[in-house]
């Protein structure tokens, strides 16, 4: 459950989100709170919904691709039906390469859009189009474009968590797993950068690479809530635990981390590191994969609760949680949940996306060549 006690609508971060968007956020958080009960559904009902999803996927020649932050029930269904569970980039890649003509994307809207941009000839459906992201909401395309126009000398680098229209305005799209490499590459070429929309990730990239970066003021409402003080307290209880943190978390949290990385990098770190206990600062949906990949290790969610809060941690994205079994089971029956991207916007957004994919492919070749 989201703890709203620390939510300060006048904070700098939220100032950049228009008030109508804030209202949407409030309504969506309320939706999530109202639908908490769905997570504790009757086992017979759950089984019936799972069978319904499996039958529809076969009937519709569709494949389910799910993000690490979705509920365990959704992730296990993706695995059981031959789909994939991964980060946003791999979801899009998998959907592109899979022979199915319909992609069911369980995640948030920008993930469905990215899948559609990479594979425009396929039908892309989502359990609900209301599942969005505070980073996407906090970076409206028109405002961002005007900001870029003020700094024409800078390369525009945007995070995957943005709308198709924002991607279409960018020179580069990056995911958290490749952000440092792209920034380093550009800095080596003497390029200055505009970074959007996550200010914590932008700040981390700037500190790590020394690149000249102008940062848009957006944030993830989940990662921003992790508290360094709570993690330090937890370290006293679990002194041998390693701290794994996603770079959308505040700098004070990253300073305490033994490893900072994307969702995939966090899972890999948990498998490779010798520690048996881990304090994890990212959405708790990732625990399904962590426990699956490292079954003999213990994972503890990093605290998000501030002073006086009633809960200890609420690292759970309300929009990811909208991808529940009920919504997924009805995905083919509804007529309002297909992703469309205007062809012109899609073609323009494909340019920075392709640039990232080619860069990533080049890096892999380089790593192979060095091995």
Output the smallest distance, CB 220 to ligand SF4, in A.
3
Q: Which of 56, 119, 128, 161 binds ligand SF4 (CB under 6 A)?
A: 161
Q: Is 319 in the site for ligand SF4 (CB under 6 A)?
A: yes
Output the smallest distance, CB 197 to ligand SF4, in A.
10
Q: Which is nearer to ligand SF4, 197 or 352 (CB)?
A: 197
Rounded distance between C-alpha atoms, residue 232 and residue 244, angstroms: 13
Q: Tell whether the torsion through CA atoms of 146, 147, 151 and 155 is positive or negative.
A: negative
Q: Is 134 in the site for ligand SF4 (CB under 6 A)?
A: yes
The tokens for 21 are: 């968007």
Judged by CB under 6 A, the chain residues 183 through 242 that form the site for ligand SF4 are 220-222
Is 244 in contact with 213 (CB distance < 8 Å)?
no
Output the smallest distance, CB 333 to ligand SF4, in A.
25
Q: Is 133 in the site for ligand SF4 (CB under 6 A)?
A: yes
Q: Which is nearer to ligand SF4, 108 or 245 (CB)?
A: 108
Q: Is 100 in the site for ligand SF4 (CB under 6 A)?
A: no
Which residue, chain included where needed, has tokens 């932008």? 202
Rounded distance between C-alpha atoms, residue 187 and residue 209, angstroms: 8
338's CB contacts (< 8 A; 6+ apart) are 123, 124, 125
Q: Which of 57, 66, 77, 320 binds ligand SF4 (CB under 6 A)?
A: 320
Q: Is 62 in the site for ligand SF4 (CB under 6 A)?
A: no
Output the smallest distance, CB 70 to ligand SF4, in A.
10
Q: Is 113 in the site for ligand SF4 (CB under 6 A)?
A: no
Output the smallest distance, CB 275 to ligand SF4, in A.
25
Rounded distance between C-alpha atoms, residue 360 and residue 258, angstroms: 25
The tokens for 161 are: 């968590």
Q: Which is nearer to ligand SF4, 205 or 220 (CB)?
A: 220
Q: Which is nearer to ligand SF4, 56 or 176 (CB)?
A: 176
Is 129 in contact with 339 (CB distance < 8 Å)?
yes
Output the smallest distance, CB 160 to ligand SF4, in A.
9
Q: Is 157 in the site for ligand SF4 (CB under 6 A)?
A: no
61 in the Ramachandran plot: left (φ > 0), alpha (ψ -120 to 50) or beta?
left
371: buried, middle or exposed (CB in 10 Å: 19+, 13-18, 0-12)?
exposed
Rounded distance between C-alpha atoms, residue 216 and residue 219, angstroms: 9
Q: Which of 78, 91, 106, 108 binds ligand SF4 (CB under 6 A)?
A: 108
Q: Which is nearer to ligand SF4, 225 or 294 (CB)?
A: 225
Count of CA atoms in the C-beta half-sphere (13 A) of 366:
7
Q: Which of 91, 104, 168, 317 binds ligand SF4 (CB under 6 A)?
A: 317
Q: Is 281 in the site for ligand SF4 (CB under 6 A)?
A: no
Q: Which of 135, 178, 193, 269 binds ligand SF4 (CB under 6 A)?
A: 135
Output the smallest distance, CB 216 to ligand SF4, in A.
14
Q: Is 160 in the site for ligand SF4 (CB under 6 A)?
A: no
x/- track of binding to ligand SF4 for residues 329-368 (CB under 6 A): ----------------------------------------
Rounded distance between C-alpha atoms, residue 264 and residue 46, angstroms: 28
Rounded distance between C-alpha atoms, residue 157 and residue 189, angstroms: 15
Output the smallest distance, CB 42 to ligand SF4, in A.
28
* Among the listed residues 46, 82, 1, the one whose alpha carbon sits nearest the alpha carbon of residue 326: 46
Between helix 109-118 and helix 88-97 the angle, nearest 10°, is: 40
Is 339 in contact with 116 (CB distance < 8 Å)?
yes
Residue 300 CB: number of other CB atoms within 10 A? 17
Residues that bind ligand SF4 (CB under 6 A): 69, 108, 133-135, 161, 220-222, 283, 317, 319-320
């Amino acid at each position: 459950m989201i703890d709203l006690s620390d939510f300060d609508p006048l904070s700098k971060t939220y100032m950049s989100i228009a008030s109508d968007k804030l209202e949407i956020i409030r309504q969506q958080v309320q939706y999530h709170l109202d639908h908490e009960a769905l997570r504790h559904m009757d086992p017979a009902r759950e089984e019936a919904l799972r069978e319904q999803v499996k039958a529809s996927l076969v009937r519709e020649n569709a494949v389910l691709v799910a993000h690490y932050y979705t509920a365990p029930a959704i992730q296990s269904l993706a695995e059981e039906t031959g789909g994939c569970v991964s980060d946003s980039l791999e979801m899009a890649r998998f959907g592109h390469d899979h022979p199915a003509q319909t992609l069911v994307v369980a995640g948030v809207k920008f993930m469905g859009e990215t899948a559609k941009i990479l594979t425009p000839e396929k039908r892309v459906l989502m359990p609900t189009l209301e599942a969005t992201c505070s980073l996407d909401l906090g970076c409206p395309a028109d405002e961002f474009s005007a900001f870029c126009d003020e700094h024409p000398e800078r390369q525009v680098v945007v995070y995957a968590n943005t709308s198709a229209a924002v991607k279409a305005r960018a020179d580069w799209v990056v995911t958290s797993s490749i952000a440092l490499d792209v920034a380093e590459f550009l800095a080596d070429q003497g390029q200055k950068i505009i970074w959007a929309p996550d200010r914590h990730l932008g700040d981390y990239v700037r500190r790590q690479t020394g690149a000249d970066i102008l940062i848009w003021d957006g944030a993830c409402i989940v990662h921003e809530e992790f508290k360094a003080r709570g993690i330090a307290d937890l370290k006293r209880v679990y002194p041998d635990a390693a701290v794994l943190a996603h770079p959308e978390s505040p700098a004070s949290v990253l300073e305490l981390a033994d490893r900072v990385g994307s969702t995939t990098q966090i899972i890999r770190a948990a498998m490779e590191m010798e520690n048996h206990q881990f304090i994890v600062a990212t959405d708790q949906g990732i625990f399904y994969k962590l426990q699956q990949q490292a079954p003999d290790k213990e994972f503890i969610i990093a605290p998000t609760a501030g002073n006086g809060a009633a809960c200890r941690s609420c690292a759970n994205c309300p929009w990811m949680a909208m991808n529940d079994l009920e919504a997924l089971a009805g995905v083919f029956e509804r007529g309002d949940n297909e992703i469309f991207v205007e062809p012109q916007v899609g073609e323009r957004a494909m340019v920075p996306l392709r640039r990232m994919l080619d860069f990533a492919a080049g890096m892999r070749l380089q790593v192979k060549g060095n091995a």
